[in-house]
Amino acid sequence: MGETVKIETGRQTAEDVKARREADEPHSPLVRFGADKPLRLDAGVELRGLQVAYQTYGEPNADRSNAILVCHALTGDQHVANVNPVTGKPGWWETMVGPGKPIDTERFFVICANVLGGCMGTTGPSSTNPATGRAYGLEMPVVTIRDMVNAQAMLLDHLGIERLFCVAGGSMGGMQVLQWAASYPERVFCALPIATAARHSAQNIAFGEVGRQAVMADPDWRGGDYLNQGVAPHRGLSVARMAAHITYMSDQALHRKFGRRLQNRVLPTFGFDADFQVESYLRHQGESFVQRFDANSYLYVTRAMDYFDLAADYDGVLANAFRSSKTRFCVVSFTSDWLFTTQDSRAIVHALNASGASVSYAEIESDKGHDAFLLEEPELFDISRGFLDSAARAAGLPPARTR
């Protein structure tokens, strides 16, 4: 990484155009639902012309009982275990998903869909509005985690998957896991929510608002109409990403990786360049992010997380969301995660216990912060593999191949 990151501003770049194409014509399977199959949103409106982009790995068994739905986090996408067509980088959860991995694609039929409101092929603010022929922008209705899950349920109906063996995901993906278990308990045999919470905290809402204000303060945001005006709010989105990325790491991880070390220099410049390595790192994170993610999608998806409060839909009692559920749960948290704390996970576990659900809980000792669920964490792999193996035996699925 160099000393200074130059973020293009103003005109849309070739990378912007490439990413924009993914919104309508993604490099992945795509289902387009006709106007006769609208998605009813929590906002009280119907979304017609819904499309859902997804990826699959492995093969379904004869009765399609081996399907696992992986739900992605805020800035993830459907490319969970294959090369991303925009960035050229490996899938975002290849540590967990693949042949012989805990979510074994030689054993399970794995599905991952881009979330509603995203920018990689599922209907979102960068998609073309069929009514106008222009990008939705802020004409896209605001969506919720439950809307995302309902769109995924429509996809599974299309694929002929009546019941999922498992739903798994971390962070916002974990929110979707919990919503699946509450909204469609009869369709979920087991659930693996990782590093998540049953509601967004006031602190997390505050962090989300800082990011959204950074985007909207960029003059090139143009009231959300930047795509139709040929510009891009790169600077605002980059700052939003920089601020958010700090919350994904722990103080220990930042200290271990960067400390107070200077970036390619012996003495400070006594100016405002990136003197410290951690500054250079954050600028790099911001620059790379704007090349693959849509600014309006960032607004919509962070807002969906803010609105998530599972207990609110059940008279304020979280246990009621899982009442009489036959789903098996394994809840996982990390000790250094201050974005979705172990207390958040314990609250989920307490509610599941109160509802009579079958639940196990693991608190993993790690200094990697929230992003630990995306990194090399052998204990997470072992716990996940053990949980899925046990659930598979209970579901009557064949054992994993010996290696």
Q: What is the DSSP letter of 387?
A: H
Q: Are 163 and 189 in contact (CB under 8 A)?
A: yes
Q: Which of the following is catalytic: 147, 220, 306, 337?
A: 337
Domains and CATH numbers, the chain: 19-202+310-395 (3.40.50.1820)
Burial 11-25 (b: 16+ CB within 10 A, else e): ebeeebeebbebbee
Write phi, then psi, for 131 (nearest 5 degrees).
Answer: -80, -25
Candidates 65, 127, 171, 297; catalytic one: 171
pLDDT of residue 115: 98
171 is catalytic: yes
Q: Is 273 a catalytic residue?
A: no
User: Is 389 labeled as ligand-binding?
Assistant: no
Instruction: Tell me the pLDDT tens digit for each residue of 188-232.
Output: 999 999 999 999 999 999 999 999 999 999 999 999 999 999 999
Confidence band of 8 (pLDDT split at 50, 70, 90): low
Does residue 241 have a known ligand-binding role? yes
Least confident of 180-184, 280-284, 383-387: 280-284
232's torsion region: left (phi>0), alpha (psi -120 to 50) or beta? beta
Which residues, 6+ apart, have CB-to-CB distance to 152 below 8 Å? 52, 69, 71, 113, 176, 180
- Return the closest-CA partner of residue 232 out of 145, 126, 120: 126
How far is it, in rounded angstroms, from Cα 206 to Cα 211?
Answer: 9
Q: Which two tokens mark 240? A: 């939003």
* Residue 105 vs residues 126, 173, 387: alpha-carbon distances, Å: 31, 19, 16
Instruction: Give which of 295, 287, 357 is closest to 320, Cα–Cα.
Output: 357
| Residue of 79, 366, 370, 384 marked catalytic | 370
Can you give the pLDDT at residue 383? 98
C-alpha 393: how far from chain center: 29
pTM as predicted? 0.95
The two three-digit tokens of residue 130, written as one number: 């069929």
| Amino acid occupying residue 153 | A
Calculate mean pLDDT across residues 141-148: 98
Burial of 224 (0-12, 13-18, 19+ CB in 10 A): buried
Calpha distance 403→401 (Å, rounded): 6
- Residue 148 above 80 pLDDT? yes
Residues 6+ apart with CB under 8 A from 163: 65, 67, 186, 187, 188, 189
> 208 — phi, psi (to 5°)?
-60, -40
